Structure 1
């Protein structure tokens, strides 16, 4: 059993090393003539929409840019902030949505509404808390076209301020960098290896039209991953890429927000109860078991621990986060196991932006 644990940790290290050196990074800054539409759904985002819109206005080398902002029944000052931020820029339009369609979740319903009015050949789904570098859209669209893919998801840098954020947020990047061989997933797409991030997600309009927009994910909490799976099922190809150099976001600012945010989605992240059990065993095996072996006096525990810590370091370097927190991986794993259990205990009752999910 101890040797099997070592083999598991060593394989994870090999995957992380391969991805570290081969992950796609959007570098091409050439001007983009392809029409691009950004879909920006917002609900009670008065603190975020101003900086987000400013980032979109600052985009350069995108000759045909359309930005559709879907205001999903905000009850704060989001509408007023938007009006001031947009001014007279004709590239921007705001749709006042009437709330989600029957049986739909709010975000995907808003995206579907915006998609119906889009004119671009490339559709970009963007979250309001994402901040783009001035060349972000040009580099991301060029990457999509240079690789001849149907979708790409440049993974933004995840800003972490508090101790709990620094323990949990790096696990998002690490989870796919250490378990999915990205070049293989790109060349031979499969639903089980689909990875994407709805914070910054580019899709060819024709590929999205082929699956009837966001219909297939109308009630999916993890709409980004499920959308990638729907696209792959329909014959599209795509991959997650390293977007930490062109975009960043701070998802949560304290542990309560982390608990609510992860609580609404983790029970759906692994495909059901069996998947959650398997994922929890994997997290325990790679995060807690090496520490237990070390405490029990087994040297192989140190080897397994260092293998996993190195995968976290590699991920942190690529994601531009603090690599020192890699060595607190057992604590991160324990906290993630708690969040999985919390999500299952609270499923269907958590409030998010004023709605039960």
Structure 2
């Protein structure tokens, strides 16, 4: 029997466990509904341009380029690469690997009102000839059929994100990177996102984005998101505002991506953008507190309410396992550290807002929040 002092705490633990159970069920439903590419996509019959912006990527662009040059079932694939002011010989690596098989252009100085990546993508889109535009990051390595499969997934949509399998090696990566897929599988109703015209109900990942040129241009292209730190999500919202449709898909069989190779990279990469993810500091505080209550508090409650606390913790772990199985990630033992991941996420969010308020957020040598209100 629960003691009087433990009663309210035990009830709280049960309520939290119930909420986590509902969210984990939603994760499982989304995982089942997640769109997946065809195993053997047919030959693409429209002109496709792959657009690759590069800034100081000499150390990791080679595998990306080699995979692009090996694409199958996309006759006449156009590959346009932009060197965005690199100082490490990135352009020389592109020429050595690809020669004249890609169109290499030199980016111009970022104009007022723009951030670096949207400006680079805007220039790339202007140089491309394809009816379909596939935007790619340098840390993405495509399977031979990836572009063809991405184009096939566009059926009925104007923009789709085949989310790559996130490669995580160091402890910092393994604690943080899986949260990318877990967050949208857990909290975003995927089918409602596809059907709803609401721009706020949108998600995307800029690592691998495929768009119909007509829908992209109708939305204003990257000019519509010129000053956006999260230009991928804002582009998806712009497509919705213009009457287009967007979707997410499991791209774990199409592409791999190792965004960061160290804790410092993870820390700085998330710090530069988390402040732009929640709409306001109050929204960020509410979201982080909710995550801590749902996924960290159960562990703290185990001594007082053992069964309810343990159930809440294990249900949170199960949500991570479901996400990993659906997106090609690690399951156990990584999922067991989910409460630690939540604590780190809270720290990174607080750090992002602190540095944003100071105006000291920098990425690849350029300020990223100078346009923020």
TM over 0.5, yes or no?
Answer: yes
TM normalised by structure 2 equals 0.92
2:304 matched residue in structure 1? 296
2:4 matched residue in structure 1? none
* TM superposition shift of 1:319: 1.9
1:336 aligns to 2:335 (yes or no): no
Q: Kindly indicate whether the alpha-carbon contact (under 8 Å) linking 2:162 and 2:208 is maintained by their aligned counterparts in 1.
A: yes
Paired residue for 2:360, among 345, 349, 354? 349
CA distance in 2, matches of 1:5, 1:235: 38
* TM superposition shift of 1:330: 0.7
CA distance in 1, matches of 2:197, 2:299: 35
1:73 matched residue in structure 2? 85
CA distance in 2, matches of 1:338, 1:29: 42
1:103 matched residue in structure 2? 113
CA distance in 1, matches of 2:303, 2:97: 56
State the SS of the aligned residue for 1:87: helix
Structure 2: give runs of 5+ residues left out of the alignment. Answer: 1-11, 369-373
1:211 matched residue in structure 2? 219
* TM superposition shift of 1:190: 2.5
Paired residue for 2:34, among 16, 20, 23? 23
Could you tell which deviates more after superposition, 287-296 or 220-229?
Answer: 287-296
Paired residue for 1:169, among 177, 180, 204? 177
CA distance in 1, matches of 2:84, 2:62: 16
Q: How many residues end up aligned between the 2 structures?
A: 353
Structure 1: give runs of 5+ residues left out of the alignment. Answer: none
Equivalences for residues 238-253 of structure 1 within 5 A:
238-253=246-261
2:129 matched residue in structure 1? 119
Q: Kindly indicate whether the alpha-carbon contact (under 8 Å) linking 2:13 and 2:312 is maintained by their aligned counterparts in 1.
A: no
1:64 aligns to 2:76 (yes or no): yes
Q: Kindly indicate whether the alpha-carbon contact (under 8 Å) linking 2:42 and 2:148 is maintained by their aligned counterparts in 1.
A: yes
- Which of these two proteins has the greater Rg computed from alpha carbons? 2
* TM superposition shift of 1:29: 1.3
Q: Kindly indicate whether the alpha-carbon contact (under 8 Å) linking 2:84 and 2:108 is maintained by their aligned counterparts in 1.
A: yes
Deviations 1:97-134 (A, max 9, x none): 12212121111101001111221111111001100000
Paired residue for 1:283, among 291, 297, 314? 291
Deviations 1:57-91 (A, max 9, x none): 000000131111111110111011011111132xx
Paired residue for 2:151, among 134, 141, 149? 141
Question: CA RMSD of the aligned region, Å?
Answer: 1.3
TM normalised by structure 1 equals 0.96
1:48 aligns to 2:60 (yes or no): yes
Q: Kindly indicate whether the alpha-carbon contact (under 8 Å) linking 2:13 and 2:305 is maintained by their aligned counterparts in 1.
A: no
